[in-house]
Amino acid sequence: MHAASRRDAMLGGLAFAAAILAGAGEAFSRPSFPEWVNAFRARALARGVSARTYERVMAGLQPDTSVYALDRAQPEFNEELWQYLNRRVSEWRVRAGREAARTHAALLSRIEHDFGVDRYVMLGLWGMESAFGEVVENMNHMRPVLPALAALAWGEPRRRRYWEQELLNALVIVERGWAEPEQMIGSWAGAMGHTQWMPEVWLSMGVDYDRDGRVSPFGRPNDALAGTARYLVKRGNYQRGQAWGLEVRLPAGFKTHLADGATWRPIEAWRRLGVSPAKGGEFPPLGVRARLWLPVEGGPAFLLGQNFFAVRSYNPSFNYTLAIVHLGDRIRGEGDFVQKFPGSERALTLAEIQEVQRRLTALGFDTGGTDGRVGRETMRAVRAFQRKAGLSRTDGYAGLEVLHRLRQGP
């Protein structure tokens, strides 16, 4: 998903909540939705949307006002970084990623040739955004985008301009014939397809890579992956032939304030400070400079090249970016980090997660399935079980403690 869209969605949620709490007049003085649709028509026509398309899409459309609660919602679970990585760089995702690498080898080779983006970076991002396409049209996770964007453009008071622009972008997509309104399924904020494009990204970065006359993030992954590779190059300054970075070992007595993740230094300067590859050998190609990042005191440290930040341009979270590149490396065949996070434990295997899900389901906790993928339903079920069983942690994390307690029986 476009980094700005995630950031705007988060800021929009805070602003909307503040408006409600303060009783801001704008939130309550808006016109009726039909009046707003009629007034917005001129904006759409000025953008190049035909009157026929506007009427076809907007006449009779009902705003999805449930997005307001989603916009205001705070994160439901607070995960430590090792938990975040264990859940996302799971055995299921690694296996599915290796199968996707085999199935789409020719496509990934073509993308590497045309855009220079490493196939395993692409696989990591694809796996994070949609589980390799598994959730693209799953209505348990996705919803019609146009009613959601229309509701936000009409009724979200502080970021209205942003949502209006994304609604206009979505209407232009329909006008171009790239999608029918009912085909535009995505998140509450409007992100769609294999790599969760916002409408602006679809329009600006999309590539008709399968040469069918339209750009689409749905269906075959060709357009989605090629457009995302283009995004990483154009907006993230991805560098062909360079690694994202690597785990490094810090010498005894190292001044950890230097590992701020923000300061660029030449690779040779890091060498002089005693920074070395955690797995031995030489540094991979990182360009002439890199940043050092120590996410957690006592945990693994990482030397980050430009391509880490190219991936981060897709979402401004360091943890999200680390999960993507680590997942890509694991799909490639590399192992886990050498240095463990303080207090961490190994991730459950696929079979163990499925066992947790089966045992929880048998006890009446709804996990949303027993496929070995830990989504919000499984996390809610785990947390409910933790509370009922009186466990010390009620964080929703499906780990060893939960597995052992479930095996003890009711």
In a domain? residue 323: no
Task: Judge whether residue 155 has pLDDT over 80.
Answer: yes
Q: For residue range 25-45, list pLDDT tens digits in order.
A: 444 478 999 999 999 999 999
In a domain? residue 268: yes
Please report the DSSP string for 53-70 in residue order. Answer: HHHHHHTTPPP-TTHHHH
Average pLDDT over residues 213-227: 97
Average pLDDT over residues 172-201: 96
Average pLDDT over residues 257-262: 96
In a domain? residue 28: no
Whole-angstrom Cα distance, residue 8 to residue 74?
A: 15
Average pLDDT over residues 251-273: 96
Task: Judge whether residue 22 has pLDDT over 60.
Answer: no
Confidence of residue 139 (pLDDT cuts 50, 70, 90): low
In a domain? residue 391: yes
Give the containing element (helix H, strand E) for 378: helix 376-389
Confidence of residue 75 (pLDDT cuts 50, 70, 90): low
When divided into structural domains, the chain yields a total of: 2
Sheet holding 245-249: strands in order across? 265-266, 289-293, 301-304, 245-249, 276-277
Angle at 194 between CA 236 and CA 165, to 5 degrees: 65
Average pLDDT over residues 365-382: 93
The residue ranking higher by pLDDT, 156 or 206, is: 206
Average pLDDT over residues 69-94: 88
- Compute and round to an integer the Cα radius of gyration of the chain: 23
Mean pLDDT is lowest, of 155-159, 192-196, 290-294, 366-370, for 155-159
Whole-angstrom Cα distance, residue 201 to residue 274?
A: 42
Residue 245 main-chain phi, psi, to 5 deg: 150, -160
Mean residue pLDDT across the chain: 92
Strands (E), 305-394: none
In a domain? residue 24: no
- Cβ pair 403, 348 in contact under 8 A: yes
Average pLDDT over residues 176-186: 96
In a domain? residue 317: no
The residue count of the chain comes to 410
Q: Label residue 148 exposed, middle or buried (CB < 10 Å: 0-12, 13-18, 19+).
A: buried
- Cβ pair 37, 356 in contact under 8 A: no
At residue 5, the pLDDT reads 47
Residue 298 main-chain phi, psi, to 5 deg: 90, -5
pTM higher than the cut 0.85? yes
Mean pLDDT is lowest, of 194-203, 311-320, 366-375, for 366-375
- Cβ pair 374, 398 in contact under 8 A: yes
In a domain? residue 309: no
Q: In the chain, count H helices and then E strands.
A: 19, 7
Average pLDDT over residues 207-212: 97
At residue 312, the pLDDT reads 98
At residue 26, the pLDDT reads 44
Q: Collapse the DSSP code of 157 into the 3-class scheme (helix H, G, I; strand E, B; otherwise coil) and give the result.
A: coil
| Range 85-113 burial, b when 16+ CB lie within 10 A, else e | bbbbbbbbbbebbeebbeebeebbebbbe
Task: Judge whether residue 410 has pLDDT over 80.
Answer: no
At residue 167, the pLDDT reads 98
Whole-angstrom Cα distance, residue 60 to residue 43?
A: 18
Confidence of residue 170 (pLDDT cuts 50, 70, 90): very high
In a domain? residue 252: yes
Strands 289-293 and 265-266: antiparallel
pLDDT above 70 coverage of the chain, percent: 92
What is the rounded end-to-end Cα distance, in angstroms, of the chain?
42
Give the containing element (helix H, strand E) for 276: strand 276-277
At residue 74, the pLDDT reads 60
| Range 203-213 burial, b when 16+ CB lie within 10 A, else e | bbbbbebbeee
- Cβ pair 350, 92 in contact under 8 A: yes
Task: Judge whether residue 4 has pLDDT over 50.
Answer: no
Which structural domain range is residue 280 located in? 245-304
Average pLDDT over residues 392-401: 94
Of 2, 108, 93, nearest to 323 by C-alpha is 93
Whole-angstrom Cα distance, residue 374 to residue 359?
A: 14
